[in-house]
A and B are shown apart, each in its own frame.
Chain A
Amino acid sequence: MSEKNVKCESCTNQKSQKFDEIANIIDLYKDKEGSLIQVLHLAQEIYGYLPLELQKMIATSMEIPLSEVSGVITFYSFFSTTPRGEHTIRVCLGTACYVRGGKKLVERLQEILNVQIGETTQDGKFTFEIARCIGACGLAPAMMIDKKVYKQVNVNKLESILSKY
């Protein structure tokens, strides 16, 4: 009944390979000042996201308390602790965008994607998040998909924007 029986062997192998790879990186960067953020970046790059299990491994090998590691991860929005979609949508809810209809964008996207904020769509395509000011206040409301910024977004155009991905 244990979980092990359920998991397919090649997944488990892949996972431990990735963990090994991350362990190697930690060995390289461990003693450098302030290297935690770099290690986390690389780990996320390799593993896709930073689940608790991985955080524990990083905390142990870097000799940093787990609470500090998770503190750093949850502080920066570019780290994720849940599996991520292929693309990340971030709708700005900074003051300017909020006032100029950012909230409508959020509502509509929730409908289209059928997810709540912070979640990933069923098909694993999009992760949906909100941001606080992405520096396009003049052309609010704004949103980002991955690194591309969309300005003065019209609610009715959302579907066609998404269809490009």
Chain B
Amino acid sequence: MINVTINGKHISVAKDSTIMEAAKANSISIPNLCYLENVHKFGSCRICVVEVKGAKTLQASCMTVVSEGMEINTNSDKVRKARKVLYELLLSDHSKDCLSCKRNQSCELQELGKTLGVEETRFEGEHSEHYLDTSVSLTRDMSKCILCRRCVTVCNQIQGAGVLNAQNRGFDTVIGPAMNLPLGSVNCVYCGQCSVVCPVGAIKETDAIQKVWNAINDPGKRVVVQAAPAVRVALGEEFGYKPGTQVTGKMAAALHALGFADVFDTNFAADLTIMEEGTELLHRLTHALTGSHAALPMITSCSPGWIKYVEHTYPNQLDHLSTCKSPHMMLGALIKSYYAEKIKINPKDIFVVSIMPCTAKKFEISRNEMKVNGVANVDAVLTTRELAAMIKEAGIDFRGLEDEEFDNPLGMSTGAADIFGVTGGVMEAALRTVYELVTGREIPFDGLHVTPIVGLDRVKTAEIKIENPVEAYKFLDGVTVKVAVTSGLKGANQLMEQVKNGKSPYHFIEVMGCPGGCITGGGQPRSSDPDVRMKRMKGLYSEDEGKTLRKSHENPYIASIYTEYLDHPCGHKSHELLHTHYVKRGIYNELTEEGSSEKELQPVKKNAPKRSVPSENTADVHSQTHKVHEQIESERILALEAENARLKNELDDSLETVNIFKRVIADYSNKRK
């Protein structure tokens, strides 16, 4: 332990903790902006500065580690002034159109202004040039970016996708893909994890709300909605409920109230997925064990971010992916065929909306492989956040709603479907059904939970030995089925390297693209609760446990859709409606047709005069800001000067290295001759 004084109070704190952590542990909160607990520590905004006795400059408390005897003041006059100036400087290069910004009232920058008590912005500086980049899933408005780099950390360190990084330098710095290429032209998987951590309106889902309102208002359309499992344990957070609260009934009621003609449940299709995917697995196992070829391990295909990742990164391993569409696509296909026939309506007049915890699903519905006779399975995807916005916009008092049910025939589901929303859930649901089909007995785990694959670890594995199978599966007798589960693309990468090298010991792998699974998908409410994943996970397991039917094959509506319409799992109709195929993309999209075009992003000039030569009055602003800087501290200027000097040295060094390398090259070419 280390003894320090914060604001005159003597406290002892754990070694290696930062001033910020020490303060927090003692109920002192320090305003901050770029810092994100447990995720990101970079020290770029310096809003969290504090005074440390004896130090020449103010210290960024999120980066500075405590030392014995440190005397810290988090709330001196100097500190308060510095924070305000830093904040105002941030604002001077910000588009500030709060009233029309999606993050209005849920913006960390706005919130901070309130905390700091900033009432005026004294600096109206020049604005850096900005990019507005709209892709099917995500929209980046760089005029709002405050360069905190949380998205960079998440995209590189957590997802390992490496799509976002800082480009250019200094005033021209912009966070984005290489050479400011549009997100839609690179290997972004649309997981949306960047949009969850962004403190401001710089990265957000591409809006589908208006499209949905238009459909609802169109008398010629029957607008049908479905909601994914993970939505029901997170939507409540937007209305003040604790993370993990199950608001299934209120959600169904709100969807009815919004004017949707039918409110179906993606969970129904999750049960269906288990039937299809379980059967597919058994087919592959049969082939493999009876001597013919089958790509094993088979890998789940419910997560469109994960699918896009494989297509970019492992284009030669696509045959390992299950051919099953993701549940909401299956349901969309059934709504426009089975249900359309049932209610005698032309599928073209049906508009299907999916409420998803996911931004990648917005991309998924646009895939050509997902169309049946040229008709898209699903017409619009709303994220959980967007649904909440619509409910608020419609003036529905969510908390006051009476619980309602989903509509039939596509609204009933078993507990197995609920856990589709959390890592390990698809696997557990599949095992509950497959084990029982093969052995005629229930899976031998307490409460039907396959414990080794429950929880939030990155990679989880389990082995299940098949003994005394029923007659049809005698060839599986004594076989130990090995499975692995992972969530987040870092873990997926680990398992895929094994697959690529032919070293994967598994038969079946579940992958979800977001860490923790759909519960923390890119379209879920943003949360400052570090335990949010755990709480939402518990919410889903208790939804499962609350149901009488907890195995997909026990769902009576599933049984009847097979007798009435689909015939049998993986049959002809299923293949037409419920299965799909994948596209080889390559890391630079070089394997696709469009991949060759390298169109540069068109910069939008929102508030952004072309900055080639600074104008007179901006120089004025510069000198003004310099003055303010000098007044409070010259830290930033010092840093810049130091950086200048460093760069000059670096240039010299580099020139020297160049000379050395020239010699190396000369050697080379001599040797070759």
Closest chain A residue to B166 by CB distance? A71
26 A–B contact pairs at CB < 8 A? A21-B665, A21-B668, A25-B665, A38-B661, A41-B658, A45-B658, A45-B665, A52-B598, A55-B178, A55-B179, A65-B165, A66-B177, A66-B178, A67-B164, A67-B178, A71-B178, A74-B167, A74-B169, A75-B168, A76-B647, A78-B651, A78-B654, A81-B179, A93-B614, A130-B613, A132-B170
Closest chain A residue to B658 by CB distance? A41
Q: Which residues of B contact A68 (CB under 8 A)?
A: 156, 162, 165
A69 to B166, CA, bound (A): 10
Q: Which residues of A contact B651 (CB under 8 A)?
A: 78
Interface residue? A100 (CB, 8 A) = no
A64 to B178, CA, bound (A): 12
Interface residue? B619 (CB, 8 A) = yes
Closest chain B residue to A64 by CB distance? B162
Interface string of A123-156 (1 = CB under 8 A from B): 0000000101101000000000000000000000
A42 to B658, CA, bound (A): 7
Known A-B contacts A41-B661, A66-B588, A69-B178; the reply to A103 vs B162 at CB < 8 A is no
Interface string of B642-673 (1 = CB under 8 A from A): 00100110010010011001101100100000
Q: A48 to chain B: closest CB distance in Å?
A: 14
Interface string of B619-633 (1 = CB under 8 A from A): 100100000000000
Q: B556 to chain A: closest CB distance in Å?
A: 49
Q: Which residues of A contact B186 (CB under 8 A)?
A: 66-67
Closest chain B residue to A81 by CB distance? B179
Q: A132 to chain B: closest CB distance in Å?
A: 8
Residues 55-77 of A at the B interface (beta carbon under 8 Å): 55-56, 60, 64-71, 74-76
Q: A17 to chain B: closest CB distance in Å?
A: 11
Q: Which residues of A contact B168 (CB under 8 A)?
A: 74-75
A42 to B664, CA, bound (A): 10
Which residue from A41, A45, A98 sits with its C-beta under 8 Å from B619?
A98
Q: Which residues of A contact B161 (CB under 8 A)?
A: 65
Closest 3 pairs between A and B when the two form their complex, measured CB to CB: A65-B162, A70-B178, A67-B165
Interface residue? A37 (CB, 8 A) = yes
Closest chain A residue to B163 by CB distance? A67
A70 to B179, CA, bound (A): 6
Which residue from A42, A45, A67, A93 sits with its C-beta under 8 Å from B177?
A67
Which residue from B164, B612, B661 sits with its C-beta under 8 Å from A42?
B661
Interface residue? A16 (CB, 8 A) = no
Interface residue? B587 (CB, 8 A) = yes
Interface residue? A161 (CB, 8 A) = no
Q: Which residues of B contact A76 (CB under 8 A)?
A: 169, 647
B644 adjacent to A52 (CB under 8 Å): no
A45 adjacent to B178 (CB under 8 Å): no
Q: Which B residues are closer than 8 A to A by beta carbons?
A: 156, 161-170, 176-179, 186, 587-588, 598, 612-614, 619, 622, 644, 647-648, 651, 654, 657-658, 661-662, 664-665, 668
Interface residue? A36 (CB, 8 A) = no
Closest chain B residue to A71 by CB distance? B165
Which residue from B165, B167, B178, B664 sits with its C-beta under 8 Å from A52?
B178
Which residue from B162, B598, B654 sits with its C-beta under 8 Å from A67?
B162
A107 to B166, CA, bound (A): 30
Q: Which residues of B contact A70 (CB under 8 A)?
A: 165, 167, 178-179
Interface residue? A121 (CB, 8 A) = no
Q: Which residues of A contact B665 (CB under 8 A)?
A: 21, 25, 42, 45-46
Q: A34 to chain B: closest CB distance in Å?
A: 11
A95 to B668, CA, bound (A): 45
Interface residue? A14 (CB, 8 A) = no
Q: A154 to chain B: closest CB distance in Å?
A: 19
Interface string of A87-122 (1 = CB under 8 A from B): 000000101001100010011000000001100000
Q: Which residues of A contact B176 (CB under 8 A)?
A: 67
A95 to B641, CA, bound (A): 13
A74 to B176, CA, bound (A): 12
Closest chain A residue to B590 by CB distance? A56
**15 further A-B pairs in the complex, CB-CB below 8 A; given A65-B162, A135-B648:** A25-B661, A25-B664, A38-B657, A52-B179, A65-B163, A66-B177, A67-B164, A67-B186, A71-B166, A71-B178, A75-B168, A93-B614, A98-B614, A107-B613, A117-B612
Interface residue? A12 (CB, 8 A) = no
Closest chain A residue to B187 by CB distance? A66
Q: Which residues of B contact A60 (CB under 8 A)?
A: 587
Closest chain A residue to B181 by CB distance? A52
Which residue from A37, A71, A106 sits with its C-beta under 8 Å from B167?
A71
Which residue from A45, A56, A106, A116 sits with its C-beta under 8 Å from B661?
A45
Q: Which residues of A contact B163 (CB under 8 A)?
A: 65, 67
A65 adjacent to B156 (CB under 8 Å): yes
A24 adjacent to B179 (CB under 8 Å): no
A133 to B178, CA, bound (A): 27
A33 to B588, CA, bound (A): 25
Q: Which residues of B contact A67 (CB under 8 A)?
A: 162-165, 167, 176-178, 186
Q: Which residues of A contact B657 (CB under 8 A)?
A: 38, 41
